[in-house]
Each structure stands twice: as structure tokens, then as C-alpha cells.
């Protein structure tokens, strides 16, 4: 019984931290396809060279989420994780061998910019990398 009580208290504490990380008075918006996001951070839209589109949002769980089009149809949302505290920025990484390469950035832990890179739609993302973080 003590273990169960400890688990419930731990879950309540984690839930409280998640809510506290959301901006004060944050409102929730719908991004299409069932994607809910923190309105204050908006939807970051990005066009790919082949005419495909992609979107990035900060979900109500404070994680970064993305989706993209294939043959003009939007795919489902999937999480890139993280603990995001800002609008998401996209930086293209032009490279003749990887014309679709991008890095997405947002403010996260320690109020520092964190980024993940992807070489092409549908490919794996790099782990999060902190910019100018203490070693």
C-alpha cells in the first residue's frame, strides 16, 4: 500500500511539473489532423523543395510535434519529444546530397536553444543538441 501511495504522489508531482512548464494562461488550439498545441507558440510551417509541406507545433505536453504531406495528403502527427518553451524555428541545411535536410530549434531546458536535424522526410532525426550549453 505504501508503494502504491508513493507512485500516486510521484505521478501527481510529475503532472504538476508538466502543467507548470506551460505558459501562464496558455490556451489550446487545433492544428488539423487532431493535433492540439499551445496557441501562444503557433504553427511553424515549412515548404520542402519537392512541393511537400511540413508543420511543427508545441503540443499540450510541451513536446515538439511534426507532420508532413505525401502526395498532397497530410500524414499523422508524431512526437519529436523535448520540453519546449518557445515557437519552433526551422533552418534549412542545403547540401547537394541532402536537399531536404533541416534543423528545427526551440528554447528548452535551461532556457537554451535546442535543435534536432533530419536529412530527409521520413528519415530519423538526430538526438537533441543544446547550443551554447555548459559542458
> pLDDT value at position 3?
33
pLDDT of residue 99: 83
Domain ranges of the chain: 2-130
Q: How high is the pLDDT of residue 24?
A: 53
Q: Average pLDDT per run of 10 along the chain, which is 135 residues long?
A: 30 31 72 94 92 94 94 94 96 85 93 92 90 76
Three-state secondary structure readout of the chain: CHHHHHHHHHHHHHHHHHHHHCCCCCCEEECCCCCEEEHHHCCEEEECCCCCEEEEEEECCCCEEEEEEECCEECCCEEEECCCCCCCEEEECCCCCCCCCEEEEEECHHHCEEEEEECCCCCCECCCEECCCCC
Q: Which residue has the cell 510551417?
A: 45
Structure confidence at residue 23 (pLDDT): 55
pLDDT computed for residue 86 by the predictor = 97
Amino acid at each position: 500500500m505504501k508503494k502504491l501511495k508513493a507512485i500516486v504522489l510521484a505521478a501527481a508531482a510529475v503532472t504538476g511539473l508538466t502543467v507548470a512548464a506551460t505558459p501562464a494562461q496558455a490556451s489550446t488550439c487545433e492544428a488539423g489532423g487532431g493535433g492540439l498545441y499551445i496557441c501562444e507558440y503557433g504553427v511553424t510551417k515549412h515548404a520542402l523543395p519537392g512541393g511537400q509541406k511540413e508543420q511543427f507545433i508545441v503540443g499540450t505536453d510541451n513536446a515538439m510535434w511534426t507532420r508532413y504531406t505525401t502526395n498532397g495528403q497530410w500524414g499523422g502527427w508524431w512526437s519529436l519529444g523535448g520540453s519546449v518553451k518557445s515557437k519552433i524555428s526551422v533552418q534549412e541545411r542545403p547540401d547537394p546530397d541532402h536537399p531536404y535536410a533541416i534543423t528545427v530549434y526551440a528554447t528548452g531546458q535551461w532556457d537554451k536553444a535546442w535543435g534536432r536535424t533530419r536529412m530527409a522526410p521520413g528519415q530519423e532525426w538526430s538526438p537533441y543538441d543544446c547550443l551554447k550549453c555548459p559542458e
